[in-house]
Structure 1
């Protein structure tokens, strides 16, 4: 009997451990549930409420003129309406007259071509100078930065005065250099702004001159963020300087390049001051109009100017949407 009681078969197996029961959070009283729901709603709306002080001035300062321009484009609004005569609603008549005029399409084509050429040249020169600033010594880099800042910070009209003097037909330095040292005697009293081709050449030089510094400083700041370890590893693998720039540095700063290119397209499409000042210097205005100056020439007909400005806005938005979609595709 005692042996049977002490045998292993008679010992009961231990009970398996019980799984821990998850703690159930206490249910808040019914009075506190709406309070928590209201707090979560306020926390979600908080960031948007903080944007209101910034959005209100933007909506008032930009939204009202834009809406006013859009409404004027559907009315007959001239000088008579400035003295109290009610404006007549004409619907799409202003747009029909503009878009049925071949000259308007010529202005649009010239503006888009001028914009793309200037933006492309500005980006190429800006990237080249930004890369140069990463390769030269400290003294040369500071000298280049000071020169670019002076070119960028000089007022537009002051810059136009200097360039008009440089391209002057009688006393200009450009004509003297081409006629005397280079022997091109036909350029001695050449007028650069009489012919549309040379007019746009001068305008391109001035616009690019004033736009390059922004591209240089922005791209240079982006290139400084490229890790040195990546460039050194590529150099050890046998990549040349051009290959390191093309396949490593530029792809890393591609978002910066896309944003800068977008800004340049927008700015060059609505260029006005440089073209207007050159036109006042004796250029044929009808053959050298771009969108900005053509809208200014319609200033006595507010409705037509509003319609043309709306068309210009639509072109700008179309180019902007193209670049933004490409940027989002690159990020994806």
Structure 2
């Protein structure tokens, strides 16, 4: 036995994790504070005046300096008591839901196609959709109005003599059919690119393993691919619902091409007609606030689902 015994080494004291100081905790909030302030000013100030105007009798006289008359919630009461407005709201909701569903469906199918084909074909599809997406709205509408022109339109010519002189914009049902083609055609590229980006995150090894185990194409899509790209799908669907509810330019230009505004108005063109067209800016402001609230109601479910997915 040795005279000196080695003592067991003392364990080092565990280093305490340094707590962030007060300034460090506030740093992220201080960094985003300028952007939030600019956003609140850019959106909050116009929204404030929109709310104020919606509670006033604000017409052409007020545009030339006459003080507006405060009417409280009278403009909002007119919304709920006007049958024409409710028809416009119903048409807008149906148009919004149908177009958003078609856009997401076609966009998803094109994304799956891009994910399945070779590099050359995928590149051609992406360039074609990018050109369609980047084309200005007025230029796109000029082409489609020419295609569906009742006198010298290409569509009537291709459909044969039975459709010679047929006015697609005169009947409200065919009018919305043409509008749906245009809106979906212009929106599909965004959905396709977004969903395709989500598909690139799917592990091909998992798909191949499921295929070896005998899973069909639909089973692989709904049970493997869909849960992975669900957040992307929910975001694009939410955006499409918002955009299609507020569609204006396409409907307005189709109306100018020969449709009856009172039979084909959606919320955007109706607000424009009673505001700029009739000079009732108080009522138009009330309708704008109503559309904002309607958008929040439609978006609330999807926002909660996104928060749940994030958690």
TM above 0.5, one fold? yes
Match of 2:60 in 1: 79
Match of 2:4 in 1: none
Write the distance in 2 (CA, Å) between the matches of 1:162 and 1:150: 14
Q: Which runs of 5+ in 2 are unaligned?
A: 1-7
Write out per-residue CA displacement over residues 256-288 of structure 1, whole angstroms, 9 at most, x where no aligned residue. 000010000000000000000000111000000
Write the distance in 1 (CA, Å) between the matches of 2:11 and 2:215: 60
Q: CA deviation at 1:247?
A: 1.4
Write the distance in 1 (CA, Å) between the matches of 2:94 and 2:302: 17
Write out per-residue CA displacement over residues 148-179 of structure 1, whole angstroms, 9 at most, x where no aligned residue. 01110100000001111111111111111111
Match of 1:92 in 2: 73
Q: CA deviation at 1:61?
A: 1.4
1:226 aligns with 2:202: yes
Write the distance in 2 (CA, Å) between the matches of 1:330 and 1:187: 51
Which structure 2 residues correspond to residues 124-139 of structure 1 after superposition, within 5 A? 124-139=105-120
TM-score, normalisation: structure 2: 0.91
Match of 2:239 in 1: 263
Match of 2:167 in 1: 191
| 2:146 maps to which of 165, 168, 183 | 165
Q: CA deviation at 1:40?
A: 2.4
Q: CA deviation at 1:310?
A: 0.3
Match of 1:290 in 2: 266
- How much is the aligned-residue C-alpha RMSD, in angstroms? 2.1
Match of 1:237 in 2: 213
Q: Which runs of 5+ in 1 are unaligned?
A: 1-16, 26-35, 180-184
Match of 2:159 in 1: 178
Write the distance in 1 (CA, Å) between the matches of 2:270 and 2:301: 25
Q: CA deviation at 1:45?
A: 1.7
Write out per-residue CA displacement over residues 219-271 of structure 1, whole angstroms, 9 at most, x where no aligned residue. 00110110111111111111122221221112111000000100000000000
1:204 aligns with 2:180: yes
Q: CA deviation at 1:138?
A: 1.4
Match of 2:283 in 1: 304
1:252 aligns with 2:228: yes
Write the distance in 1 (CA, Å) between the matches of 2:308 and 2:28: 27
Write out per-residue CA displacement over residues 54-95 of structure 1, whole angstroms, 9 at most, x where no aligned residue. 112212211111111011101111121222222221100001
Q: CA deviation at 1:216?
A: 0.4
Q: CA deviation at 1:330?
A: 4.3
Write the distance in 2 (CA, Å) between the matches of 1:135 and 1:228: 12
1:276 aligns with 2:255: no
TM-score, normalisation: structure 1: 0.86
DSSP-derived class of the 1:298 partner: helix
Match of 1:113 in 2: 94
Write the distance in 1 (CA, Å) between the matches of 2:126 and 2:12: 69
Write out per-residue CA displacement over residues 304-326 of structure 1, whole angstroms, 9 at most, x where no aligned residue. 11000000000000011021123
Equivalent residues, number: 299
